[in-house]
Amino acid sequence: MHYLAIQGKQKLSGSVSISGAKNAALPLLALTLLSSRKLTITNIPEVADVKTLLQLLTNLGATSTCNNNTVEIDSTTVNSACANYDIVRKMRASILTLGPLLARFGHCEVSLPGGCAIGQRPIDLHLKALEQMGAVIEIKQGYVVAKAPKGLKGATIIFDKVTVTGSENIIMAAALAHGSSKLVNVAKEPEVVQVCEILADAGVKIEGIGTSQLIIAGSGGKLLDIPDFKVIPDRIEAGTYLCAGAITKSKITLTNVNPKHLEAVTLKLEQMGFKIDETRDTLTIHPGEKQLPSDIETSEYPGFPTDLQAQFMALCTQAKGTSIIDERLFENRFMHVSELSRMGANIKLKGHSATVEGKAKLNAADVMATDLRASSALILAALVADGTTKIHRIYHLDRGYENLEGKFSKLGAQIKRLEE
Ligand code: UD1
């Protein structure tokens, strides 16, 4: 197994190019199931989760190639509607094939993803919405077995909670349904918006794109003439590199980024004492004179993203004073706390709230990555720790960060991938 060895206390400088968004690429690859033509998708991040979904689609009968961040994919040849456990268990987001498969074939079997490190993560809202669209759903031997022999019907769906992949699943299902659907309390994340925009480019009539209420006119089961497209930049990867600049007190520039998608994040950094310059597609962070503590509450977009909570916690360990971090989306997303504490961080947990006392002197240690974003918090802590930190189980990082060591090395970090 591989691990990362990071020698701390190095200044970073220069620029880093941000990859396409993993969380956009995944629903967009699932969306190819609704396409009547072969598609070319650019700015695809070459990360493990994308490879897993491509493997799942190939397993269903699609053909694809992936080179230089471009995927050519023909999902018109898909001839199976069964997403099996062996692939789904590797990645929860495989559930994104549920809506498109059911809408296209009138039946499907998709393995239940099960729990994960950051909590239970049910899919009840996906299932309830599909039932409202006329699907009959049973759970059999760990599989969601769904049937809608006459196709899905348009319906009014009010999501009880804002769910990102739930919204994407149902938007894709509604695009192929018979009749019109009204979706209320839809997620407004940029990744959800991109799914809607591409459907609109394919001729689907959608009102309310970018708002929490959508009206979608279904195609009545007809596959869609989806144009080739480019994946939006990864706002979570971008936020992670901004934190790297902040924690190491370095000036770094991010290119190929959409600053509008990061407003809640850059605002927090400014409140913490960092100066940020932006152009249409770059962000530059400057070292802060004083690093101030922060109060952070995660929430749905456009609020502060839960996927950057762990990274900001690492940053708060280096601010002078008390920071409070409230995790509002996932019940168990504090797995990084014990590892950060092993490096010398002073963090107290109470329910969904963490109190971080800074500034803590961090020391290198052997630490364990527990989930994708928790692992990046450990990298940030390692960048300012005394000595060489070893981060184990980095397969979590490979799920979502493209060319991580390459990008950090180019910025001047002393980072190596080694074999245990
Ligand atoms: C997506 C992102 C993930 C991010 C999360 C929140 C992808 C591939 N993943 O995950 O990186 O951390 O959004 O921004 O885009 N819930 C239910 N029932 C459901 C669905 C969700 O109770 O049927 C709850 C969840 O347990 C959680 C909350 O709703 O508490 C939000 O989860 P959700 O937005 O669905 O997260 P994902 O789409 O899985």
Reported as a single tens digit per residue, the pLDDT across 212-225 is 999 999 999 999 99
Model pLDDT, residue 175: 98
Q: What is the DSSP letter of 239?
A: H
Position in ligand 1 atom list of the atom nearest CA 330: 30
Decide: 195 and 157 in contact? Cβ < 8 Å. Answer: no
Q: What CA–CA distance (Å, rounded) separates 86 from 95? A: 13
> Would residue 116 show up in a list of annotated catalytic residues for this protein?
yes
Per DSSP bridges, beta strands 136-140 and 63-67 are unpaired
Model pLDDT, residue 90: 86
Position in ligand 1 atom list of the atom nearest CA 329: 30
pLDDT in tens, 277-324: 999 999 999 998 889 999 999 999 999 999 999 999 999 999 999 999
pLDDT in tens, 340-374: 999 999 999 999 999 999 999 999 999 999 888 88
Decide: 201 and 227 in contact? Cβ < 8 Å. Answer: yes
Q: Is the Cβ atom of 26 under 6 angstroms away from ligand 1?
A: yes
Kind and range of the H or E element at 213? strand 213-217
- Those residues whose C-beta lies under 8 Å from the C-beta of residue 418, and which sit 6 or more positions away, are 2, 3, 4, 5
Q: Is the Cβ atom of 298 under 6 angstroms away from ligand 1?
A: no
Average pLDDT, the chain: 95
Radius of gyration of the chain (CA): 21
Half-sphere exposure of 301 (CA within 13 A, CB side): 20
Model pLDDT, residue 116: 57
Model pLDDT, residue 191: 98
Q: Which two tokens stand for residue 252?
A: 């770094």
d(CA 168, ligand 1 centre) in Å:
11
pLDDT in tens, 88-119: 888 889 999 999 999 999 999 999 886 555 56
**Per-residue CA distances from 385 to 11, 99, 199 (Å):** 12, 45, 47
* pLDDT confidence tier of residue 274, bands split at 50, 70 and 90: very high
Q: Is the Cβ atom of 89 under 6 angstroms away from ligand 1?
A: no
Q: Is the Cβ atom of 323 under 6 angstroms away from ligand 1?
A: no
Task: Determine which one of 66, 82, 116, 196 is catalytic.
Answer: 116
Q: Is the Cβ atom of 124 under 6 angstroms away from ligand 1?
A: yes
Q: Which two tokens stand for residue 230?
A: 């480019």
